[in-house]
Amino acid sequence: MSAELTKLTTYFGERDRAAGGLLADELFALYGRERVRLSAMLRGIEGFGHHHVTHTERLLTLSEDLPVVSVAVDTDDRIEALFPQVLALKRRGLVTLERARPLGGPLQGGSGPLLPDDVRDQAKLTVFLGRGERVGGRPASVATCALLHEHGAHGATALLGVDGTRSGVRTRARLVGRSPAVPMLVIGVGPGEAIAAAAAALTSVLADPVMVIERVQVLRRDGRRVTSLAPLPPVRAHDDAWAQKLTVHSSEDDRVDGHPLHRVLVRRLRGELIAGATSLRGIHGFQDDRPPRGERLWQARRHSPVMTVAVDTHERIAQVIGVVEEVTARRGVVTVEAVPVRVLPPVARS
């Protein structure tokens, strides 16, 4: 099996439709039929797409059209073969194909070093879990965030999936019940050596760890600049174009002028005509030196971590870095990743 994987990410709305029905249902039915090794559908809480209409859970009239992010991971050849079928379902909008390396579990390929050379400075680790997995009597997602924090990661967010596949088997969340087999993700970012140390520790405590590592730039942490936006790498023959994926890790109790940081960020990015942005609420995580935290009875929204993701051209992301720095002047971890883009909607520029 190839030591390199491809992560296919699509951004759309809950009410977007394909020929046979809702796009979300058709897309994950496809992943199930094709037995995609890993996939997960993540439901956003706020965002906008190429029409620049904000959709948010705060407005009842729009609550059924929240933004959705789907992630599918498999070997390069399987994702490339699957890609035309995905485009046949999703004929507009944003699709990215990102290269990643496996660190363990059924996707492990080859016997190379744990930490590739191109992620030794800063790295992003994605850990795929089931909702019901536990470590030492506590949820595996909580244990994963704790290990990332203990080993010096800058931030981590645990995200619940509502549909997806693991080892090619599709499982959907039920309206009632725990749905223990439904996939979920924990995404951690930080210094490469810290991420590698956390990954090594996770292999000893998780029953069947599946982890992928990707290169990332950490631009800011808690109001301090870590590094500057780097130029894009050369476009490869099989990629249409490179874009930048901007991610801001924050908490719902982070405020900008009295408003939640992620809401201010989405509003400001929309005003800058960025192609699209989506905020995803996590259930546990951290973005600073404080211990990991998450949902609490009666206080879920005050402590839950939030990831806000925006993808656009390198030039457009470079132009809004000043806005992002203003919004994250006191809190938040800001990262960027160069990602190959296959479908990027045209956006009217003012």
Q: How many domains does the chain have?
A: 1
Q: What is the pLDDT of residue 239?
A: 55
98: pLDDT strictly greater than 70: yes
As a whole number, mean pLDDT of residues 137-159 equals: 96
Average pLDDT score, the chain: 85
Is 349 within the bounds of a domain? Answer: no
With respect to residue 348, please indicate whether it lies within any of the assigned structural domains: no
> pLDDT tens-digit profile of 208-257?
788 998 989 999 999 999 999 988 766 555 556 788 999 999 999 999 99
Mean pLDDT to the nearest integer, 184-197: 94
Is 60 exceeded by the pLDDT of residue 58?
Answer: no
Residue count (the chain):
350
Helix (H) or strand (E) holding 7: strand 5-13
Over 69-121, what HEC string results? EEEEEEEHHHHHHHHHHHHHHCCCCEEEEEEEEEEEHHHCCCCCCCCCHHHCC
**Confidence band for 110, pLDDT divided at 50, 70 and 90:** very low
Distances (CA, A) of 322 to 248, 254, 294, 316: 14, 19, 29, 11
Q: What is the pLDDT of residue 187?
A: 98
What is the average per-residue pLDDT within 165-180?
83
Q: What is the mean pLDDT of residues 192-204?
A: 91
Tokens representing 156 are 């981590």
Boundaries of domain holding 195? 5-343
Please report whether residue 350 resides in a domain.
no
Question: Beta strand 277-281 with 46-48: parallel, antiparallel or unpaired?
Answer: antiparallel
- Of the listed ranges 106-110, 161-165, 261-265, 324-328, the least confidently predicted one is 106-110
Cβ neighbour number for residue 255 with a 10 Å cutoff: 15
The whole-model pTM stands at: 0.89
- What pLDDT sits at residue 62? 45
* pLDDT score recorded for residue 345: 52
pLDDT bin (cut points 50, 70, 90) of residue 10 is very high
- What pLDDT is stored for residue 60 in this prediction? 47
Q: Is residue 86 in some structural domain? A: yes
pLDDT: is 25 or 349 the higher one? 25
Q: What is the pLDDT, as a whole number, of residue 3?
A: 59
Has residue 49 got a pLDDT over 90?
Answer: no
Q: Which helix (H) or strand (E) segment is 319 a member of?
A: helix 314-327
Would you say residue 211 lies in a domain? yes
Whether the per-residue pLDDT at 175 is higher than 60: the answer is yes
**Residue at 275 is within a domain:** yes
DSSP secondary structure letter of residue 62: G
- CB count within 10 Å of CB 181 equals 16
How far, CA to CA in Å, does 166 sit from each of 138, 149, 201, 224?
Answer: 21, 26, 22, 38
Cβ atoms 328, 261 nearer than 8 A: yes
The percentage of residues in the chain with a pLDDT greater than 70, rounded to a whole number, is 82
- Contact in structure between 280 and 161 (CB atoms under 8 Å): no
